[in-house]
């Protein structure tokens, strides 16, 4: 079997999975902060409508504009489509973060579709680089005899 034509399913390594979990948790935490303490908070809304120049008012205004343009769900959907076409860790990470923001910040339809496409990306084969060959299967399995076997005594 030639190593340049080997295919395997898209599976992040344990280290990459841990990084994706941390990235997803950070995105969820920040999205919840923006939604609950910036957009939906009554004191921030009244302060911003009265014209106070605060950084949180700028963040609120930019987030509401991006939310109305459905940017979070759109970016998540584009990244998920690209990831489904050519599975890569970077496109999965971008799709994951954008989908989390979309789900939390009122872009539910597009973000939910993106999550479904991201999940389908795990069933897609990815090419194995030429320098990383897949392990060859031997005819005999490399197992040991059970402990109760007379051969082990």
> Can you give the length of the chain in residues?
153
For residue range 64-104, list pLDDT tens digits in order: 999 999 999 999 999 999 999 989 999 999 999 999 999 99
- Does residue 4 have a pLDDT over 60? no
CA 90/CA 69 separation, integer angstroms? 24
For residue range 107-145, list pLDDT tens digits in order: 999 999 999 999 999 888 877 766 665 556 556 666 676
- Does residue 5 have a pLDDT over 70? no
Place of tokens 């973000």: 111
pTM higher than 0.85: no
What value does the CA radius of gyration of the chain take, rounded to a whole number of Å?
23
């Amino acid at each position: 079997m030639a190593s340049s034509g080997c295919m395997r399913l898209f599976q992040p390594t344990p280290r990459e999975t841990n990084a994706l979990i941390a990235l997803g948790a950070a995105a969820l935490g920040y999205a919840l902060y923006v939604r609950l303490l910036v957009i939906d908070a009554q004191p921030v809304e009244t302060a911003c409508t009265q014209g106070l120049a605060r950084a949180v008012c700028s963040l609120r205004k930019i987030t509401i504009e991006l939310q109305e343009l459905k940017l979070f769900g759109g970016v998540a959907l584009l990244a998920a489509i690209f990831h489904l076409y050519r599975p890569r860790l970077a496109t999965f990470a971008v799709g994951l973060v954008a989908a989390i923001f979309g789900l939390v910040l009122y872009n539910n339809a597009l973000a939910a579709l993106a999550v479904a496409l991201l999940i389908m990306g795990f069933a897609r084969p990815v090419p194995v680089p030429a320098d990383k060959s897949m392990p060859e299967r031997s005819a005999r399995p490399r197992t040991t005899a059970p402990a109760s076997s007379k051969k082990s005594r």
